[in-house]
Each structure stands twice: as C-alpha cells, then as structure tokens.
A and B are shown apart, each in its own frame.
Chain A
Amino acid sequence: MSDEDNGEYRKGHFFILLAIGLALGICTLDILSPLQGAVAVLYTSVIVLVGLTHRQAPIVMAAAGCASLAIAGYCASHWGAPLGSPAMRLGVSLVALMITTVLVLRQLREVEERERADARYRTIFAAGGFPIWESDWSGAHGLLHKGHPIDACTVELAFAAAFVKNANLAAACLFGFERREDLVGRSLLELATPATSEALVRIYEALMHGASSVEEETRFVSRTGREFDILLQVTIPPDHDGWKRILIMGADITERKRAQERLAAAQIELAHISRVTILGELAASIAHEVNQPLTATITYARSAARWLAREAPDAHEVSECLSAITANAERAAQVIARIRDLARNSDVRHAQISLSTLIAETLELVQREMTTKGVTLTLNIESDLPPVTGDKVQLQQVLLNLLINARQAMLDTPEERRHLTVRAFRKAEKHIAVEVHDTGHGLAAGQDNLFTPFFTTKRDGMGMGFAICRTIMGQHEGSIEARSNAKGGATFVFVLPMKTDHVHGGSEGLVPQH
C-alpha cells in the first residue's frame, strides 16, 4: 500500500469519526431541542460527510445508522402520541435521507468510473509500445501569440522553452534514455537535428492556422548518438490551456525509410536487368547492326590496299574507300552509343523528350528484327506533339518492351498478316498517348494481372517486363494498359502527361518518393 493510499485511508477514518460525532450531535438536538422542525433532515449532512471517504460501505452504514437515529429520536419524544405532524416530519426526513444517499452513491460510482478510465488511459500511455509523451509548449504559445514571425530564430526560442511533462518508456527508449523519468522535464532541443527545426516551423504554422492535429516527418538524434527518422503526430487536446498540454506520438520510421530507399535501389536494379534482358533479346539485331558496318570497313580497307598495290595505283578509288571506311566506322560507333545508353544503370533522369524522336530511334533498334520476321511497320505520329518530361532510357525501355512483345505475339501469325502499328497522339487536354497495335494472338481471358510482377505466359519469361513498364510509367506520372483488338491481336497504350510550361529545366516532381 503506497503512502498516498495510506493517507486516503486515514482521511477516511477521520471523516467517519467526524460523521459519527455529527450524527450523535444531531440526535441529541432532535431529542432535547424544543424546536418543532424536521431536525432529522440534518442527518443528510452526515451522509455527505461520509461520502467524502469515497467508499460505498460506510455510506450505506451511515444511511442506515442515521435512519435508525431519526426513528429512535421520534420514539423518544413522541412514543404513544397519535400520528401527526411529528410523524410527518420523520417521513420527510427519511425521504431526504434516502435521496441524499442515492445521490451520494451515484456520485461515488461516477468518480470510481472516472478513476478507472483515468487509470486505463494511464496504463495505455505508460505501457503502450509506441512512444508517446506530453509536452508543455506554453512558452511557444506565448511567443507565437505575441506575433513573433514563425522563423528559425523564433522556433529555436520556442523549442528551448518547451519541455516534456510526461512520457512513457517507449518514448524514453526512443530518445536513448533508460527510464522515463530521465526524459521528463527535459527540452528536446539538445536532441534536435536541422530537420527538426524545419519540421517544427511547419508544425507551428499548422497549429497557428487552427489545426488541432499535425503530422510531420522529421529526424532526431538520440542521446546515444543514433540518428533516427520519426513520424510525429502532434495533437492539441481540447483542454490545452495555452498549449500547456500537447500530446505527441512518435513512430520510428527509420527502418521504413531505409526499406524504401532499398526498394528504390532494387527497382533501379531490376529495371536495369530488364533492359539487359531486352538487349539480350535484341542481341541478334544489334550484332547485325554492328556487323554490317564492320564488314564494310574491313572490306573497304582491304580493297584500298589492293587499289594501291596495282601497277597503276588508283588514288581516286583509294580516297573513296577511305571515306567509306570513316562513314561505316562512325555508323558502328553510333549503334554502340545507342546500346550503351540503354545498358547504363542509372537513377531516373529528367529531361525534355520528344516522343516522336524517341519512337523513331527505338524503331531503328528493332527495325531489322521486324523486317526479318516479316512484320510490316506502320508509323502514325500526330504532328507538333509537345514534349514530355522524363528519363529517355526508361521510356525507350517501355517502348522496346512493347515492340518486342508485339513481335513475339505475332510469331504464330501468317507472315502476310503481321502488322505492327505505332501511333502517338494527344489525349484529353494534357496527355500524349503512345499505342502499339499488333495482329498477334491477343490477350487471353484472365490476363488482368498482366502488369503484376512475375506474371508471364512465356515458358522462359521472367514476367517482369510489363511490371517494370508500369513502375516506370508510375514514376513518370503516366499509366499503361492493354486490351484485345476486335479483329485479333492486342493494343498496348501508355499515356504520359505533357511537359507543363511553368516547369523550369524540366525536373519537377518525378523523383521516386522516399
């Protein structure tokens, strides 16, 4: 039993003794006094007094005792007398006594209920696994309501004036303390990072604009030196009394942020693998692209040597050979440069991109592959298409994926019916759609999950191609979808937002979210 409880107990005893004295006094008054009034009504004060013990049994006993005393008093004074006004007064007194008892008992129950609720919340607060603390921000309240501007200086002053009033163990642990008492009474200023001040500016601004709850992500450094990311939920309770009680909950999101960073890195890696896979599929085409100019270069060089070795060397022919060698070597270098771009593993870059150029360049990569498979290509690009913003290599990857998929889908189609149409056109007000239309086997029913990872209909497919296309589109604020054509085959469409005019340098908002 704690000291506090012990004190309560003793106070209860004192009240009971006082009440007994009072009751005896009233009884004496009732019997001896010549007053013709309902003295017994005064017993209600005894009940109220006992009520201060906050215990039910003494109240009930006091009520019973008082009723007995009132009846005894009546008997003592009026025994044998006919029933009249004294009996009436006794009745009133007893009813008053009863009502008082009921009221006191009810109030007692309410108090108990409130105490239980308080205890419950205290338990939740103290035992909750998530960090939660109560701070006194009255200093900040004073500063800000005096009209100080919300700047770094004010925030520092306000933050220094704030201190933790109460905290649970999880909060203490989060900040690197072993006991909650170590955190209570402190200012968190000493654990702040530059990010904390920035977050506080935003929190103060929101609160000054009348918000009663603010959520902000920020970063603290614990007493042990560990930097951690935290999601703060700052709540002003209705009875805050000038920000004296601010409830703050914090979730340690360091792991989540690390995971997000790892996920972004994995996505970049996966996109790279997918590009390399595409390159693998294009290998024959690429080999041909490089082989042709190489063959030409070698042959021209030998040929030049022969023209020189003739009895009458032909300078004109040699010169022709040399310029042809340069031209063909440059052609090979260009092919290599295109492939190198595609094979590069890099973060998303943002540039202004002309979709018509992108389509033309991508088709160049697959042209050979298409013609050798007997696929007829039709290009239909709306004139004056505005540019889009994004990563050229990634967008090219999406288109390549769709083109290669279309070609593979048409392998079972008779050659004379292998048609591939690429269209680019304005869609709605601010978007550009690129459509790849094939005459292949189309989409089978139940291919709704086409764009989910590891979905594949190919025996040797990894099932990442379309998933990566969708990820790339998501990063570009675009979308991609597929549908079956009425006359067979499938159409894949991706839609990208046009570059908006107010963007400077074309680098807005496409960074993967961390």
Chain B
Amino acid sequence: MTFWSDMLENTLATVRLLPPLVAVVDDDAGVRGSLDSLLRSEGMRTQPFASARELMQSPLLEEISCVVTDLNMPETDGLALQVWLSERKSISPPIILITAYPTCQARQRALEGGAAAFLTKPVDPDTLLEAIARTLQI
C-alpha cells in the first residue's frame, strides 16, 4: 500500500506545486501575446483568450486563478465579463482590468464590482505582476 500512498502523495504534491493558471483576455494579438510571455517569464501558467466569450466557454474555467482582461473589446467587454464571472455560482477568480481609456465611470464600476486592479495601457509590467501576485496570495 505504500506504493499507492506514495503515488497519491506525489500527485497531490504535483498538483499543489503546479503554478496557478492566469487567463489573459485581449482581442489584440500583440498585447495578448506580450502579456502571456511576461506572465510565463515569471513562472506562471497562462491561457490566452481572444475574447470574453472564448473564456466563458472554456473547459479550463474552473481552474483559472486570476483573469487579466482588456476592458474595451467588441461584443462582451471587460466589465461585462466581470459581471458574468461574479454572477456564477462557483467562486469567481479575481479580475484585473486593463484599458487604454481609463474613464472615471469605468474605474468606479470595476472597483465596485470587486476588481483586484484597474490598470492603464501601456501597462507597467512590474505593476501588473505585483497586482497578480497580490491576488494569488489571498
């Protein structure tokens, strides 16, 4: 039985050690790719999505520990995604919104809706990494 218990121990350890999965949502391939690379360089697991809808329909949804999303996207925008995530029955992952048009209204709605951070493009990579790190520690 030690073999199986060892196996179980190992598997659990692996799962525990597996880095957290961060979703990157942006309709712009350049921005999406760069955020993806940045997060991976920091040792995170990432999953890029070209639209909010792609994320909503993803089988990885339950596994996601943090969502970094663009605010201004066609069809479903970042704020709508935030609302959708918070209205789900399961625990919703923390969300970080990034925008090139930081209006006061959008900031207020994002933060009131529980966003972990509201950042302006071009994003300072250190600020973004710090914000993600903060959400993952909670």
Contact = CB atoms under 8 A, between A and B. Distances in A.
A46 interface: no
Contacts of B101: 284, 288
A299 B24 CA distance: 13
A302 B28 contact: no
A317 B40 contact: yes
B28 to A, nearest CB: 5
Given A284-B101, A296-B31, A299-B31, A291 B122 contact: yes
Contacts of A328: 30, 34
Nearest to B98: A295
Contacts of A304: 37, 41
A320 B34 CA distance: 10
Contacts of A302: 38, 125-126
Given A298-B125, A303-B125, A324-B30, A292 B100 contact: yes
A294 B28 CA distance: 12
Contact of B41 (A296, A298, A303, A327): A303
Interface string A364-378: 000000011000000
Contact of A324 (B37, B40, B41, B121): B37
A419 to B, nearest CB: 15
A292 B38 contact: no
Which of A291, A295, A302: most chain B CB closer than 10 A?
A: A295
B46 to A, nearest CB: 11
B100 A324 contact: no
A310 interface: yes
Nearest to A293: B30
Nearest to B29: A296
Contacts of B41: 303-304, 306-307, 310, 317
B100 A296 contact: no
A300 interface: yes
Interface in A322-336: 324, 327-328, 331
Nearest to B126: A302
A106 B17 CA distance: 133
Contacts of B34: 295-300, 303, 321, 324, 328
A162 to B, nearest CB: 75
Contact residues on B (Cβ < 8 Å of other chain), bracket: 20 to 34
A303 B122 contact: no
B104 to A, nearest CB: 16
A321 B122 CA distance: 17
A287 interface: yes
Interface in B97-112: 100-101
B48 to A, nearest CB: 13
Contacts of B125: 298-299, 302-303
B121 to A, nearest CB: 5
B33 interface: yes
B62 interface: no
A314 to B, nearest CB: 8
A371 B74 contact: yes
Nearest to B37: A303
B122 to A, nearest CB: 4
Residue among B31, B41, B42, B126 with most chain A CB within 10 A:
B41
A403 B16 CA distance: 54
A320 B74 contact: no
A295 B99 CA distance: 11
Contacts of B123: 295, 298-299
A299 B38 contact: yes
Nearest to A367: B74
B35 interface: yes
Interface string A273-300: 0000000000010011001111111111
Interface in B47-72: 72
A288 B122 CA distance: 10
A310 B72 CA distance: 33
B37 A317 contact: yes
A213 B101 CA distance: 69
Contacts of A297: 34
Contacts of A303: 34, 37-38, 40-41, 125
Nearest to A332: B30
B42 A295 contact: no
A331 B31 CA distance: 12
A282 to B, nearest CB: 14
A326 to B, nearest CB: 11
Given A303-B125, A324-B33, A328-B30, A291 B38 contact: no
A476 to B, nearest CB: 35
Nearest to B41: A306
A321 B123 CA distance: 17
Contact of A296 (B28, B40, B42, B72): B28
A345 B37 CA distance: 42
A372 B41 CA distance: 32
A307 B121 CA distance: 22
Given A287-B100, A371-B74, A298 B40 contact: no
29 contacts: A292-B31, A292-B100, A293-B30, A294-B122, A295-B121, A295-B122, A295-B123, A296-B30, A298-B125, A299-B37, A299-B122, A299-B125, A300-B37, A303-B34, A303-B40, A303-B41, A303-B125, A304-B37, A304-B41, A307-B37, A310-B41, A317-B37, A324-B33, A324-B37, A327-B30, A328-B34, A371-B74, A372-B72, A372-B74
Given A299-B31, A303-B40, 10 more contacts: A284-B101, A288-B101, A291-B122, A294-B122, A295-B30, A296-B31, A306-B41, A307-B41, A317-B41, A321-B37
3 nearest A-B pairs in the assembled complex, by CB-CB distance: A296-B30, A299-B34, A306-B41
